[in-house]
């Protein structure tokens, strides 16, 4: 099983202006792996991107990594 949390964390930390505030959590259930990204309030827009393009690209990379192993990965942003 690949470590999808590390992949998403690496990408996220390189996109934001405050990489120390990035936390990525993962949990598994019967439907697959769920990854939650938390960033500083100022960096939420950087992670989402124009019309959601950046977060969709992150989701696509995580799903592409999971396809070979036959697993399912879901990536979401937690806004606080």
With H, G, I as helix, E, B as strand and everything else as coil, classify residue 67. helix
| pLDDT confidence bin for 10, thresholds 50/70/90 | very high
Burial of 24 (0-12, 13-18, 19+ CB in 10 A): buried
What pLDDT does residue 1 have?
56
Q: What is the CATH number of domain 4-77?
A: 3.30.300.20
pLDDT in tens, 21-44: 999 999 998 989 999 999 999 999
Mean pLDDT throughout 50-61?
Answer: 96
| pLDDT confidence bin for 68, thresholds 50/70/90 | confident
Q: Who wins on pLDDT, 24 or 80? A: 24
Domain boundaries, the chain: 4-77
> Is the pTM of the predicted complex or chain greater than 0.85?
yes
How does strand 73-77 pair with strand 32-38?
parallel
Q: Running DSSP on this structure, what letter comes out for residue 49?
A: -
Contact yes or no for 60/53 (Cβ under 8 A): no
What pLDDT does residue 62 have?
94
Contact yes or no for 33/40 (Cβ under 8 A): no
């Amino acid at each position: 099983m690949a470590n999808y949390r590390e992949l998403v964390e690496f990408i996220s930390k390189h996109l934001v202006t405050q990489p120390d505030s990035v936390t990525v959590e993962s949990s598994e259930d019967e439907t697959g792996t769920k990854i939650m990204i938390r960033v500083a309030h100022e960096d939420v827009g950087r992670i989402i991107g124009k019309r959601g393009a950046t977060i969709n690209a992150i989701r696509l990379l995580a799903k592409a990594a999971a396809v070979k192993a036959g697993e399912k990965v879901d990536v979401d942003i937690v806004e606080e």
